[in-house]
Structure 1
């Protein structure tokens, strides 16, 4: 039985992905900082479901969680899905240094640490994969989401590097790049970035979960844009001069 370990699994994209893989017969491991929500998901899914509270910024917790799940799954891990993430919208100077740093700690350090912790167990799998949550915000820096955008550029770079470096272990590393998704992370913001208002929030968590499942069926791309409008944007970005991309972003983000 294939196994997938998902961070941020108690809500949003992580939860939708856990449900989709579980429905398709996978053994799923749920990791999240919200233990109460994890217990509710575990009760919902039942068999072939394992959970543990995890703060992805704590390397010791990452190592212990991955080891425990791998032990429960016969000593190996087939897929690591780094879905845990945080978002703070606002004018750059209106957010505290602590808020910016927390975004980088969760989105970048958390992803990096989970990759390190998972490597020994991924190497035991027949077809190991790592899937990271990047973002459309990694295509061009987004005003009012500066530290979030920076974190997703970092995830994009990490994904590219590891996909090449970990070939020697037989591990594929890919990322998903959706624009804004209809989850609490976006909907509960106290500041609405102009780019959100102009682009709209058109993707659901289920849309991204479907993309995750489809990607792991053998999609060869390192970066997987999610949603037809953003796939079109990615194509345009390849042929437009950078000043055109910058002008578009300036318009979308105008206060």
Structure 2
């Protein structure tokens, strides 16, 4: 068995691009998503000999557990890399987004991620040199207006990453995350026009660029991996600058002055 990776949200966008890239590198892909049709198309493209598909909603812990059990049956119980990519986005003024939508965003982006981590742990532990690559965001660096609950969810992903990278070190499991700004996916496209930040910061990354960052992360682990030249330059500043400075910059970008 070649190296193996389990990818959530693999039916489209970053997840699909990552599946394609790792398959081209000779990896066996476990592709999980809610969209059965998209998964079938991906398996047909990659070939059943190098791709297993698993219809699962990450908020359903039983479905996630079953998906990983099925994947592990293909890999002899091994899981070299877990790519926690599944997520949703809703942009707009906080008070104009319903509590139900805010809740679903947190359930997918945070509780869903935790479900997958919990179910994947036995297989990661059984695999020497295993890694977790969580999908955080540039919005985990500071709270983002018009992205309040999404940004909060990605702060949670960042904290989970930092905690588990310490906890799971004893099991030879490295945990890190990617922190891209806006990526040109269907998820972002469906929200464009809902915030001036899209125009002021630009939607400049492709899913393929982020997929390359996943591969780079696997080859050279970092706790946090900013993606894009723009955010790689800004990340050290956001960590060291006084809060008032970061707030002023974010407010100006939001107002698009």
**TM-score in terms of structure 2 length:** 0.97
Task: Give the C-alpha shift of residue 111 in structure 1.
Answer: 0.6
After TM superposition, list the pairs within 5 Å mapping 1:51-130 onto structure 2.
Answer: 51-130=53-132
Conserved 8 A contact 1:107-1:152: yes
Task: Give the C-alpha shift of residue 16 in structure 1.
Answer: 0.4
2:19 pairs with 1:15: no
Matching residue of 2:165: 163
Matching residue of 2:151: 149
Matching residue of 1:213: 215
1:71-123 alpha-carbon deviations (Å, 9 max, x no partner):
11111111110000000001101110000000000000011110000001111
RMSD value, Cα: 1.0
Conserved 8 A contact 1:90-1:191: no
CA distance in 1, matches of 2:158, 2:236: 17
Conserved 8 A contact 1:54-1:61: yes
Matching residue of 1:188: 190
Structure 2 stretches of 5 or more lacking a match?
none
CA distance in 2, matches of 1:202, 1:192: 17
Matched residue of 2:237: which SS? helix
Matched residue of 1:102: which SS? helix
Matching residue of 1:28: 29
Larger mean Cα displacement after TM superposition, 74-83 or 173-182 = 74-83
2:44 pairs with 1:43: yes
Task: Give the C-alpha shift of residue 53 in structure 1.
Answer: 0.4
Conserved 8 A contact 2:132-2:173: yes
Matched residue of 1:165: which SS? helix
2:241 pairs with 1:240: yes
Report how many residues are paired: 254
Matching residue of 1:3: 4
Task: Give the C-alpha shift of residue 189 in structure 1.
Answer: 1.7
Task: Give the C-alpha shift of residue 126 in structure 1.
Answer: 1.6
Task: Give the C-alpha shift of residue 156 in structure 1.
Answer: 0.2
Structure 1 stretches of 5 or more lacking a match?
none
Runs of 4+ displaced beyond 6 Å:
none
Matched residue of 1:181: which SS? coil
Conserved 8 A contact 1:89-1:191: no
1:145-186 alpha-carbon deviations (Å, 9 max, x no partner):
100000000000000000000011110000000000000010
